[in-house]
Structure 1
Amino acid sequence: MTTRPVHSTFRVSSGFRTPERPDHDGIDIAAPVGTPIFAPVDGVIVEGAERLAGSVSGFGNWVWLDAQDGHGVDLIFGHMRHASILVKRGDRVREGEQIASVGSEGQSTGPHVHFEVWGPPGRIGGEPRNPQDFLQGAVDPGTQPGPDLDGSAPEAFPLPRGFFYGPLEGPASSISGRHGSERPEWIAGLKRWQQARGLPQTGVYDQATADAARTVQFANGLTPDGLIGPSTWRAGFTSSSPGERPPRLQLVDHAAARPGAQAVKADGYHGAVRYLVDSPERGLINKKLTPEEAAGYLGLEMPLVSNWQKGKNATADWRRGFDGGVADAEAADAWHRHCGGPAEAPIFFSIDDDLSLAEWNSMAAHYLRGVASVLGKQRVGAYCKYLACDWAVEDDVVGTCRDGSGKRFLWQPNTWLGGRPLGTISEHACLFQRLIHPRDNIKVAGINVDVNDTLTADFGQWQYATQPVTPDPVVVPDPISVREPDGYDIAWHAGPGSRSGHGPYKRIYLHTTENQDWISRAENVADGQAARRDGSYHYIVDDSRIIQTVSTKNASWSVPVRDVNDENQVSVHIALVGTSGAIPRWTTNPSPNVESNPKKRSVWLEHDKMLDMVAFTIATVSKEHHIPIERVDIAGVGNDVHGVSSHNNYTYGSVKLRGFKDGTHWDVPDTFPYDVVLAAAKQYAAIPDDPDRFPLPNGHYWGPLSGPQESWSNRFGNEPQASKDGLRRWQSALGIAPTSVYDDATRDAATAMQKAKGWPVTGHVYAGEWYGVIKDGWRLPNPAAVLLGTRKITNATGPGHTDQFGMAATDLGVMTRTPSGRILAVFGDTFRDPMVGGDDWRSPVALYSDSTNLDNGIVWHEAAGADPNYARQLWPYDHVGGTTALPSDVITIGQDIYLHVMINEGLGNVVRTEIWTSSDNGKSWRPTGAQFDAGLHNGFAQLWTWERDTDGWVYVFSTGFQRDKGIILRRVRQDRITDPGAYIGWGWRDGRWNWGNPPTPVLESQPSAEKFGEMCLRRIQNKWVLVNFDASTTGGYDIDLRLLDTPTDNLYVVPKTTPIRGSAWGEEGNDRVAQLYGPCIIPGSTLDAGLHLLVSQWKTTDGWPYRAMHFKVPVR
């Protein structure tokens, strides 16, 4: 018998030696990345995982199977990812055994398996044969004849031809067991299938049944749609064939109690993953493995794996960073050995959260590095979500399975899959938590358990290690606790000097003021600095209070002030009132303390409240400016490591960092209890903030850029994101443009509130104005009038508008709000004089606007790039042969801006698209490396518009640039926006729309909704606004507007308005424009007061007008 390499539902996309490809010695079978590939017959591996990744010419990677004995053929499988190859040279494989997974490596245009068959004597010296002849009569993987679980033959599929078990909301052919009209034999059949899969026999198609179906489908190379048709039915009943590798083992993990090895085995499971620590604060006091329990598993020869997890959510272990990893690794290894665990066995540490990439980089990766500093990287395992498995491999922070599989010690749960179907498994994982409590409700001896599949021979089990050791006693460090879980007040105390502005935030430096212990006050220190003007700190902490004297948006004068690029510019400074020396008090000057006689650790610890306040202050700065709460010693300063250090460590580290020893300060010495303070700081950082707390320091306010340092305009460029997000929230609550900067509308709103409440009228937004709007619900009494019709406000480009920037002729103008709060507009083909084809052709170029009252027309204030007075091309390239890079859309995510451009070789001839990025508010740009073929999705992915949702997904509508196509929809996680492989399609398949399908046009082939040009998608006031140029043959040639609740709304039924229509030249008006295109929403637009748009116009016969115009249109 012969088994197909993948299921027959996957089509042959390229045949054997076709007229178009006479040199194609095999067939291509298109299938999604990760689809299992199976051995069609028994044989011996000639080449597999041992060959270097990417070293097989054309194929990238391959598996070569010698099946000459018995079958007279060699078989070749190509293009899989190297990490998915499960076999190596010399391995004997059996028919139906998985050998790899589908990929798209080497010279491949999409995911598929390339399959070749070679006659005697083999691939070297033999002749290629048509693989389709070889597969005549072959069966699908997992459907070969074999005994049922009770020894009988698999029964026939109980539903009529074309029917399947599926959801109630599916088509008529979907049998759910919930409708009430199903035949009894259909319900009985589903119950038998559920029984075979170990599920509750509900007789209805429920979530557990769908998940089990996907698991069966993944294991047998079937399409993982969760529906139960004939193939999934048979695969669900069929056991493994004789001679195959053993089926995947099933291990339980549990935290509520200890069922023991006997009970686990009695319920049909093979082993367990067991915790090495209790979590009493979560009520889990019988969670920890005991030596007796471990002996029970070992005595029954059941695999046992060690895992550590104590905290969860806000108290998660990984949030404690490197030092937390050190402490947990020491405690975990001690208990592991106490229970008889081998010295070589890995321990899995839980990253049990749907964390972001930023959280991974700032905390989780450091936590695992701390673990590795104790155990060694090879013994480090991680429980983490699908994407985090990739991050762990990229950062190389976990060990490698010792069975030659190439997999890593990664344990992946069947959740947090980023839109992928349940059952999707990372190619790097060695364990897969398939069934999870409470979702799947699995019990052993009445105890809730999760069920895990093993994915390779070495999944970290004790039995794989060879060096068991005598247990050592457990040494668990004393817990660190914070004194004030609600935190401390930080009082504002102005006076000491500072330098306006700040650079990137790298380090927090600790200082001592060298006053006598317990005597001086923080205010006295600040007043002395203000009088002498000889130094300053951002924060000063004594034994009873914290004061702030310099805003962190400015640089203090804490280390020697040498130039504008000195260490002050990249650091935040915290001073402890007291001395670093061993002599706490003295009566004569100068101080008797010297560096050779530092304060002892025990004396530092006497200042317990001061240290706790320092920890709180470190946590506050860390959360605001994303500085890691990690110790940075002298070497770390020299290597420019980010974290928490001291003036002492800077003095000595500056020798390497700056090339000379910068000063003589020796405060704070290394006797300081960093471990205690940083552990407490991490706990403070993990405490959730009050979401309605005033975001600025005490005594500060939102006000003009020209104000004192207490005034935050969000225009300087160095304000933290919390300030921008907070002001944007206040503006949105009042219904004014959410610009995130202090502008005229914000001043007027604050003034109106102050007058209404009888407060002093300043126009500034203090804590009182914040809480009045956010907590008390105060609103402006007179909302803006509703716009009744379209109105042209002004020409936005052209003579008198943009010629001062050398761009009298330009078009488009895709816009975003920069991280600093300005409007950035990126334009297309641009010329110095008012004529297309004139001198100084460049594209793209960009301008900034600080306009706040859009009803007066947008005004440009500066050009992006090195020259603020001339709009130069954003990056260098030549326009040879008509080559030009045209902007498609631009988006701001955090502190970065991303620009999607179309590379044209002649207008309309798109050869590829690219993503570029800027980290300095659009002044300079660099390529991200993300490129997309012009033919991607049949040419529907050339011209984009994109917008970010609050859940971290970026949604992308796109079409072709030829104005002859409909629209498709995709999405991507914001932290993977530059990864072309991370974009997920919204498509129609198997009778329903779903993410993960190839994208299907969401709007096409309708009158006045047939062909599309430029589009703009923006999220405004909790609605999604889609504006597009309609190039349709019938009823088109206009600007259309649709208001959506979600990007997946049915665009065929969403109401459409047409605020601007095309017209002939000479017949234009407020809502009529000749040769119009390229609409873009201007930041600051609102739905109730009217939407502001840029709309382009090009008189192609004359080359002028060629410009962008500003319109205000109603939203209905």
Structure 2
Amino acid sequence: MAGLIAGQGAGDINSTASRYAVHATDLGVMWRDSRGRVAIAFGDTYGAGWGGHGAGPETADWRFNVLAHSTDRDLADGLSIDSMVTDRPGHAKQILPGDPSVQEVTVIPTAAVSVGSRDYLHYMSVRSWGPAGTWTTNYAGLAYSDDGGQNWVKPASARWANPGSGFQLGAMVRKGGYVYLFGTPNGRLGDSSVSRVPENAVLNLAAYQYWTGSSWRTGAPASAVPVMSGQVGELSVQYNSVLGRWVALHLDENRAAIVLRTAPDPTGPWTGGQVVADGATHPGLYGAFLHPDSATSSVLHFAMSRWDPYHVELMRLPLADVPADRNLVQEGGFEHRTGAWRVTGQGGVDQGLGQAHSGANNGWVRNSTGWNDLFQHAVVRPGKRYRLSGWVRSSSTTSDGFFGVRRPDGGGVVAEQKYGSLPAYRRLAVEFTATEPRVEVFAGVWAHNGQDTWAQVDDLLLEPID
């Protein structure tokens, strides 16, 4: 189900153009606010004169950000907006101002949470836009409101510098006396790390504890290690009481899709991600911000943006439609865009060629010289034991094929299985105890003496051994 939350066009149940001069907008960060409502913070917003496609023009009553409120608890027919914060009748106001002390093109909210009578917004100060999926921030910061979102303060002391911090975009969750802040570098192409802070100290950056892979370290953002391998864009996280697991939605730029990941704890291990909204069906999709009521439901509702038109839609995802998948590998079956897999030598993906072990696609490497492999990073927990399995077949000329796990960036093999000629797919598996928070999963072959040598791989699975 898709229903327009904000913008104008087919499916618009909120008439935001006529009620609040919001003709086009994006994102839609949602949280249960200090007054018990659902608050919805939007990004760059345009009014009369909007061009009808994408962002802009800037002369079209451009506001960096706006804020809506809703008390609608029945989302079967969409999400109704009760009100928006306005600066005059019929006009949604910009709630977070710009920073005249830096070069800045916009100020965009990325996450929010409430504690008691105060609301907090995590935002990014965007310095410049780059190629698709990339941009540069000046810093990320926290703003707060003590009057239900009507007015906001941006303290200079509550900022994460860029470069120097991977918390330029955020996702915030309040649980167990802490506020958890998941962070990514600027843009959509990085890994995600996690920190936490006592809920009575959200504005005190010195009180934040960063996950190092084995423990929490206070006041040391540079020590944070990834808990989700990239590409993580516009992340939203909740603890879902029905699943009894943490749930994350985000854009995967490589797959041009919104993916769902789960974990038993905020520190992981997080699954590699299942596609729940595909760019082929929803062209130009991005952002995936969970509705707060999804935390106690078997149906997830989330706000998803579309670049063209520049609108925000409410999406419905029954968890029953997403088969349980605890795989820590991204795209282990190669069924969607596979930028998660990198290549040494020559390799890629066979798409619909009838060569797969299951599904339509499989990975391959092929050459007449040197080492050739497919590999990707995965996040693991030091001290915990894991099993990597996968299906491989190879040419009659293969004598030195290897399947396994190694330390990132040339750090040496952790565990591997050697294979030779495999005329039919065979399941290979290795087990290992993690000693570092990241590993590289790989499958490849050495090609010797100018002989045409190849291997095909499919259905890779990395899972904890309970």
Task: Specify the TM-score bucket, using the shorter chain as the normaliser.
Answer: 0.5 to 0.7
Aligned mate of 1:899, from 102, 114, 121:
121
Contact preservation (8 Å) 2:178, 2:196:
yes
Mapped pair 1:1106 → 2:310: yes
Aligned mate of 1:941, from 154, 167, 184:
167
Contact preservation (8 Å) 2:104, 2:138:
no
Q: CA deviation at 1:931?
A: 1.4
Mapped pair 1:854 → 2:79: no
Counterpart-to-counterpart distance in 2, 1:1002 and 1:1089: 25
Q: Which structure would you say has the larger RCO, counting Cα contacts within 8 Å and 6 or more residues apart?
A: 2
Aligned mate of 2:16, from 794, 802, 806:
802
Aligned mate of 2:248, from 1019, 1023, 1026:
1026
Q: CA deviation at 1:884?
A: 0.8
Q: CA deviation at 1:963?
A: 2.0
Counterpart-to-counterpart distance in 2, 1:945 and 1:913: 12
Aligned match of 2:42? 827
Structure with the higher fraction of residues in strand conformation:
2
Structure with the higher fraction of residues in helix conformation:
1
Aligned mate of 1:957, from 149, 169, 182:
182
Aligned mate of 1:1090, from 299, 307, 312:
299
From the CA coordinates, give the structure whose radius of gyration is larger.
1
Q: CA deviation at 1:1089?
A: 3.8
Counterpart-to-counterpart distance in 2, 1:1092 and 1:876: 30
Counterpart-to-counterpart distance in 2, 1:958 and 1:872: 27
User: What are the equivalent positions in structure 2 for 1:696-775 lying under 5 Å apart?
Assistant: none
Quick one: which amino acid aligns to residue 1114 of structure 1? P
**Counterpart secondary structure, 1:1085:** helix
Identity of aligned residues (%): 28
Counterpart-to-counterpart distance in 2, 1:897 and 1:1014: 20
CA 1:806–1:878 in structure 2 vs 1: closer, same or farther (change >3 Å)?
Answer: farther
Mapped pair 1:813 → 2:39: no
Q: CA deviation at 1:883?
A: 1.9
Counterpart-to-counterpart distance in 2, 1:844 and 1:813: 10
Residues 276-296 of structure 1, C-alpha deviations (whole Å, 9 max, x = no match): xxxxxxxxxxxxxxxxxxxxx
Aligned match of 2:145? 918
Contact preservation (8 Å) 2:98, 2:107:
no
Residues 871-928 of structure 1, C-alpha deviations (whole Å, 9 max, x = no match): 1101444899662101110111111100011001223220111111011111111123
Residues 602-641 of structure 1, C-alpha deviations (whole Å, 9 max, x = no match): xxxxxxxxxxxxxxxxxxxxxxxxxxxxxxxxxxxxxxxx
Residues 1044-1101 of structure 1, C-alpha deviations (whole Å, 9 max, x = no match): 33202212xx3633211112xxxxxxxx2111111101122256541101001113xx
Residues 980-1001 of structure 1, C-alpha deviations (whole Å, 9 max, x = no match): 222111113xxxx221171111
Which consecutive unaligned segments of at least 5 residues does structure 1 have? Answer: 1-790, 1005-1009, 1064-1071, 1100-1104
Aligned mate of 1:1041, from 252, 257, 260:
260
Contact preservation (8 Å) 1:810, 1:830:
yes
Quick one: which amino acid aligns to residue 292 of structure 2? P
CA 1:1089–1:867 in structure 2 vs 1: closer, same or farther (change >3 Å)?
Answer: farther
CA 1:1088–1:972 in structure 2 vs 1: closer, same or farther (change >3 Å)?
Answer: closer
User: What are the equivalent positions in structure 2 for 1:561-600 lying under 5 Å apart?
Assistant: none
**Counterpart secondary structure, 1:981:** helix
Counterpart-to-counterpart distance in 1, 2:41 and 2:152: 12
Deviation >6 Å, runs of 4+: 878-881
Residues 9-62 of structure 1, C-alpha deviations (whole Å, 9 max, x = no match): xxxxxxxxxxxxxxxxxxxxxxxxxxxxxxxxxxxxxxxxxxxxxxxxxxxxxx
TM-score (norm 2): 0.60
CA 1:1060–1:898 in structure 2 vs 1: closer, same or farther (change >3 Å)?
Answer: same
**Counterpart secondary structure, 1:1084:** helix
Aligned match of 1:761? none
TM-score (norm 1): 0.26
Contact preservation (8 Å) 2:235, 2:251:
yes
Contact preservation (8 Å) 1:865, 1:922:
no
Residues 166-222 of structure 1, C-alpha deviations (whole Å, 9 max, x = no match): xxxxxxxxxxxxxxxxxxxxxxxxxxxxxxxxxxxxxxxxxxxxxxxxxxxxxxxxx
CA 1:1074–1:1084 in structure 2 vs 1: closer, same or farther (change >3 Å)?
Answer: same
Quick one: which amino acid aligns to residue 1058 of structure 1? V
Give the root-mean-square deviation of aligned CA atoms: 2.1
**Counterpart secondary structure, 1:928:** coil
Contact preservation (8 Å) 2:69, 2:81:
yes
Mapped pair 1:1076 → 2:293: no
Counterpart-to-counterpart distance in 1, 2:205 and 2:120: 14
**Counterpart secondary structure, 2:206:** helix
Quick one: which amino acid aligns to residue 290 of structure 2? I
Counterpart-to-counterpart distance in 2, 1:851 and 1:985: 36
Counterpart-to-counterpart distance in 2, 1:995 and 1:881: 34
Counterpart-to-counterpart distance in 1, 2:116 and 2:315: 29
Counterpart-to-counterpart distance in 2, 1:1020 and 1:798: 29
Mapped pair 1:1017 → 2:237: yes
Mapped pair 1:884 → 2:106: yes
Q: CA deviation at 1:870?
A: 1.7
Quick one: which amino acid aligns to residue 151 of structure 2? S
Quick one: which amino acid aligns to residue 247 of structure 2? V
Counterpart-to-counterpart distance in 2, 1:825 and 1:1030: 23
Contact preservation (8 Å) 2:97, 2:107:
no
Contact preservation (8 Å) 1:1012, 1:1028:
yes
Counterpart-to-counterpart distance in 2, 1:898 and 1:849: 17
